[in-house]
A and B are shown apart, each in its own frame.
Chain A
């Protein structure tokens, strides 16, 4: 309000200034070129009234848009798309638009809370830390840590080191197991190393963009608008949507291939069949750079069994377009259309996928098949030719896949089962030899199943500490994997659930100890997005009340255990596992008052960076990320400058490809610099509709809400735009059941039931026999219905195919 003497003029002037700033920002973005203009912080400050601008990646999805965050009076008051950010070129989606408001919901958690009968009592942080340490100390082998792809890289790294280095316990897993584990196993089985070879630049170069069970118009709208924008400018680009229901993405596509669940396996095989039958596969690429594989049914693993090209060809023979039509429901002509596109060497083809291919009991298989048709057709390794998986969380790649917070992994692509990897990790962490446990811990479904099983019936996990995620809403089959914790007669009285979060959630309702956390720009952070881009930001505002950084919480518990003499919390020289020094003196970072005396993130990141070179995922020093909007690894120093990598495995782009090799898969699982093209047979889903449960249920997300809605449902504009869960149903199915828009229906599966309204001709349009429910609404938990069947390799559940029945509720 300025000086208070002339409020009306002050307000008008401020509004005029903000409006001019807003128009300038929009005009600059609209007219491009996007990099020719300064960021807002560099613009004249006249009238800015003390708004301080700084950069951060958006808190929400895995796209990794950068925002400019405006802070005034200790609060975030404005956000703007960052014109210097290559990812979003100044644009934001509706969620990014409101990301600042996500900090200021009225029910932020501000005090540690300990269960006391049916309620909670406030406790001090000291008591909270001691409570956790008591649980760990009593049974370290029964303790588990459950995190997410929303952990920052330092947070995940600290949790990983605490568990695997400190407790010699591998029971740590992230919720990313539920969203992209099959992408990981797909990359490993194909290239021997995780994460996409391509990047978002492919969206600017491709002639054909194929979305495999992916709805980027709602889930990754800034990326999708980048493609739509090209078409609006008159560029020729063919958009193809392969999906089980019509979505907003479908509306923008020239071709819609409506398939049944698991139809994607048949479609990919059908394309490969046509490439070989028509002689349009890229013989030179295949002979130079590829091997062929089939699954080893007797000994299932990611290496499979080698086969010849002729054997591969024979396996594909049944997958004629007509047979694929029978299996998938997609007309044979559309299969031929896809085959012709892949068979055209003059086109650039990019494939995108996300949950549709990953949340799949054959997720690893379909991932390898899509990589396979890109390799077989030679649509790989040049700008615009790329098979690229997207992630749903801001650091699923950075924190989960690169730091290695999965139950079987160690940092930098290492695994606990590999002795050399354990030794390297022990060396980096200065641990006594043999400290790290060689047995993988429990993956997500197994961890929660164990937690919800009484101890005397073999339920080994006694305590779980959850950070930055909401398993009480996202786990499949909640009545088996989470809800028993809340039942007095379930025999789980000795189990203890600790939850660090920013708001009350479906998970905190069953927690024994709730810890208030800082979020996003209330703390320092580093994320790694879907295109291998590592992004850094600084703390800009204080968290509310006694909320504190998740990383500090982990370090404080570790130090409490160190003080109690738990050997694992000391390195082989007796020093605290998380010791950080300033002027050669240890800084007591376990004391909140001193946590920000130094940049703890920088210390952890520099330690972690040592791990990244083995798999050629090299990261630059922390300070290099401070001055950029992220860099895509491998980031390699050349002539004193740190250079990022746009395309992996391709000469001229990837610094690790040897001269004259063209394409070199230098982490090949067959040690011959070749990628693997797999044959994987079509198999039906784990559960299919029958007379008793005649509908196939698919679950998913909506534009307005990010995942379980814990942040976006606190933003009134978003909540009003999409206030509650609903069942999408086909008009003919609704008529057959005498249902009209808005009718309340009971949806039942073999695992649970819920009641909600139906929506016909709503956001999406499922075909007959299929229904859809979004999972953002904590008042109607769709995962009471879903199946907990998992992919045998990735251990990822299938949230897209559960059989249900539907009845009108009078």
Chain B
């Protein structure tokens, strides 16, 4: 399962820097370049199951300093090595 989201961040620069560090430390999460103008951060999430993907997205949404999380892309085709993920 691979998805990408855009997180809109708010708060002072030092808090944003700390937030970026903590987001980058999350398992399965990769961040793209933070756009200072739009305050938007592109993020990809890779996870073994749809449930885990949803958990990570929810965690992002609840992080202090994250104003909003919008989803941009999701590939939900089941990977054969993860049959437990076959929710269809």
Q: Which residues of A contact B (CB under 8 A)?
A: 1, 7, 11, 15, 18-19, 21-23, 25-27, 29-32, 70, 72, 77-81, 90-94, 96-98, 100-101, 104, 106, 221-222, 224-225, 228-229, 231-233, 252, 715-718, 720-721
Known: A30-B40, A104-B88. A91 touches B72 (CB 8 A): yes
In the bound complex, do residue B10 and residue A232 qualify as a contact, i.e. CB atoms below 8 Å apart? yes
B48 CB, min distance to chain A CBs, angstroms: 11
Q: Using A222-B70, A716-B51, A717-B51 as known contacts, list a sample of 5 further A-B pairs with CB atoms less than 8 Å apart, ordered by residue number in A.
A: A7-B80, A22-B75, A26-B6, A26-B42, A717-B54
Q: Give the Cβ gap from B33 to chain A, nearest Cβ, in Å.
A: 7
A81 touches B8 (CB 8 A): no
Q: B74: which A residues are within 8 A, CB to CB?
A: 78-80, 97-98, 100
Q: Is the CB of A81 within 8 A of B73?
A: yes
Q: Which residues does chain A contribute within 8 Å of B2, judged by CB atoms?
A: 15, 18-19, 22
Question: A252 near B67 (CB under 8 angstroms)?
Answer: yes
12 contacts across the A-B interface (CB closer than 8 A): A19-B2, A22-B3, A22-B72, A23-B30, A23-B44, A25-B73, A26-B6, A78-B75, A98-B74, A101-B76, A225-B8, A229-B40
Given contacts A26-B44, A72-B77, A232-B39, contact A91 B6 (CB under 8 A): yes
CA distance A79 to B3 in the complex (A): 10
Measured in the bound complex, the distance between the Cα atoms of B3 and A70 in whole Å is: 13
The answer to whether A93 and B76 have CB atoms under 8 Å apart is no
* Contact with A93, one of B39, B43, B70 (Cβ below 8 angstroms): B70
Contact in complex: B51, A101 (CB < 8 Å): no
B40 touches A29 (CB 8 A): yes
Q: Which residue of B lies closest to A92 (CB)?
A: B71
Contact flag A30-B37 (CB < 8 Å), given A78-B73, A716-B50, A721-B54: no
Instruction: Flag if B88 contacts A91 (CB, 8 Å).
Output: no
Q: Is the CB of A21 within 8 A of B71?
A: no
B-chain residues with CB within 8 Å of residue A93 when the two chains form the complex:
70-71
Nearest-CB residue, chain B, relative to A96? B71
Residues of A near B46 (CB, < 8 A) are 15, 19
Q: Which of B10, B42, B75, B77 meets A29, CB within 8 Å?
A: B42
Q: What are the residues of chain B within 8 A of A94 when measuring CB–CB?
A: 57, 71
- Flag whether B41 is at the interface (Cβ < 8 A): yes
B38 within 8 A of A: yes
- Which residues of chain A are within 8 angstroms of B88 by Cβ–Cβ distance? 101, 104, 106
Given that A229-B40, A233-B37 are contacting pairs, would A29 and B58 also be in contact in the complex, using a CB cutoff of 8 Å? no
Q: How far is the CA of A252 from the CA of B8 in the complex (A)?
A: 13
In the complex, the 10 A-B pairs of residues with the closest C-beta atoms, listed nearest first: A26-B42, A22-B4, A26-B4, A30-B40, A717-B54, A91-B70, A97-B71, A232-B39, A77-B77, A104-B88
Question: Are A25 and B76 interface neighbours, CB within 8 A?
Answer: no
**In the complex, what's the smallest C-beta–C-beta distance from B57 to chain A, in angstroms?**
7
**Closest chain B residue to A30 by CB distance?**
B40
Interface 0/1 of B72-88, CB less than 8 Å to A? 11111101110000011
Tell me if B9 and A232 are in contact (CB < 8 A).
yes
Which interface residue of A22, A93, A225, A232 has the most chain B CB atoms within 10 A? Answer: A22
Distance between B6 CB and nearest chain A CB, rounded to angstroms: 5
Interfacial chain A residues near B79, Cβ < 8 Å: 11, 15
User: Distance (Å) between the CB of B3 and the closest chain A CB?
Assistant: 6
A27-B3 in contact given A22-B73, A104-B88, A252-B67 (Cβ < 8 Å): no
In the assembly, what is the distance between CA of A31 and CA of B36, in Å?
9
Contact with A along B46-64 (1 / 0, CB 8 A): 1000110110011000000
A1 shortest CB reach to chain B, Å: 6
Instruction: Specify which chain B residues have a CB less than 8 angstroms from the CB of A29 in the assembled complex.
Output: 6, 40, 42, 70, 72
Residues of chain B lying within 8 A (CB to CB) of residue A26: 4-6, 32, 42-44, 72-73
Cβ-defined contact, A31 with B57, below 8 A = no
Contact residues of B: prevailing secondary structure: strand
Provide the bound-state CA to CA distance between A104 and B79, in Å: 16
- A414–B22 Cα distance when bound, in Å, is 58
Q: Could you tell me how many residues of chain B have their Cβ less than 8 Å away from some Cβ of chain A?
A: 42
Q: Which of A224, A233, A715 has the most CB of B within 10 A?
A: A233
Q: Which residues of B contact A232 (CB under 8 A)?
A: 8-10, 38-40, 67
Report how far A396 CA is from B1 CA in the complex, Å: 34
- In the complex, what distance in Å separates the CA atom of A21 from the CA atom of B77? 15
Contact present for B76 and A81 (CB under 8 Å): no
Residue pair A717, B71 in contact (C-beta under 8 Å): no
Shortest beta-carbon distance, B74 to chain A, in Å? 5
Which chain A residue has the least Cβ–Cβ distance from B42? Answer: A26
Assembly CA distance A19 to B76 (angstroms): 12
Q: Which of B2, B58, B72, B77 counts the most A-chain CB atoms under 10 A from its CB?
A: B72
Q: Which of these, A23, A32, A78, contacts B77 with CB under 8 Å?
A: A78
* Inter-chain contacts of A90 with B (CB < 8 A): 72
- Which of B10, B75, B80 has the largest count of A CB atoms less than 10 A from its CB? B75
Query: Which residue of B is nearest A91, CB measured?
Result: B70
Q: Which residue of B lies closest to A83 (CB)?
A: B72
Q: Which parts of B1-27 form the interface with A (CB within 8 Å)? A: 2-6, 8-10
**Cα of A91 to Cα of B67 in the assembled complex, Å:** 15
- Report whether A21 and B42 are in contact in the complex, using a CB–CB cutoff of 8 Å: no
Q: Please name the residue on chain B nearest to A229 by beta carbon.
A: B8
Q: Which residues of B contact A30 (CB under 8 A)?
A: 6, 32, 35, 38, 40-42
CB distance from B76 to the nearest CB of A (A): 6
Q: How far is the CA of A717 from the CA of B87 in the complex (A)?
A: 9
Hey, which chain A residues are within 8 Å of B40, CB to CB? Answer: 29-31, 229, 232
Given known pairs A18-B2, A97-B71, the reply for A233 and B80 (CB within 8 Å) is no
Cβ contact within 8 Å between A720 and B51: yes
Closest to B71 in A: A97
CB neighbours of B67 from chain A (8 A): 228-229, 231-232, 252
Q: Provide the bound-state CA to CA distance between A386 and B40, in Å.
A: 28
| A717 contact set on B, CB distance < 8 A | 50-51, 53-54
Decide: B51 and A25 in contact? CB cutoff 8 A: no
Residues of B within 8 A of A79 (CB): 73-74, 76
Give the residues in chain B near A233, CB-CB below 8 Å. Answer: 37-39
**Chain A min CB distance to B45 (Å):** 8
Whether the Cβ atoms of B72 and A25 lie closer than 8 Å is yes
The docked-state distance in angstroms from the alpha carbon of A29 to that of B33 is 12
Residue pair B4, A229 in contact (C-beta under 8 Å): no
Partner of A721, one of B35, B58, B71: B58
Give A19 to B73 CA distance when docked, in angstroms.
10
Distance (Å) between the CB of A723 and the closest chain B CB? 13
Query: Closest A-chain residue to B11, C-beta based?
Result: A232
With A15-B2, A225-B8, A232-B10: A720-B73 Cβ-Cβ less than 8 Å: no
**A78–B75 CA distance with the chains assembled, in angstroms:** 4
Complex: how many Å from CA A224 to CA B43? Answer: 20
Q: Smallest CB-CB separation from A16: which chain B residue?
A: B2
Alpha-carbon distance A450/B44, docked complex (angstroms): 54
Q: How far is the CB of B84 from chain A (nearest CB, A)?
A: 11
- With A29-B72, A30-B6, A30-B38 known as contacts, the answer to whether A22 contacts B44 (CB < 8 A) is yes
Whether A720 and B43, one on each chain, are in contact in the complex, defined by CB atoms closer than 8 angstroms, is no
Tell me the complex Cα distance, A721–B75, Å.
19
Residues of B contacting A27 in the complex (Cβ-Cβ under 8 angstroms): 32-33, 42
Write the nearest CB–CB distance from B86 to chain A, whole angstroms: 10
Determine whether the beta carbon of A70 is less than 8 Å from that of B75.
yes
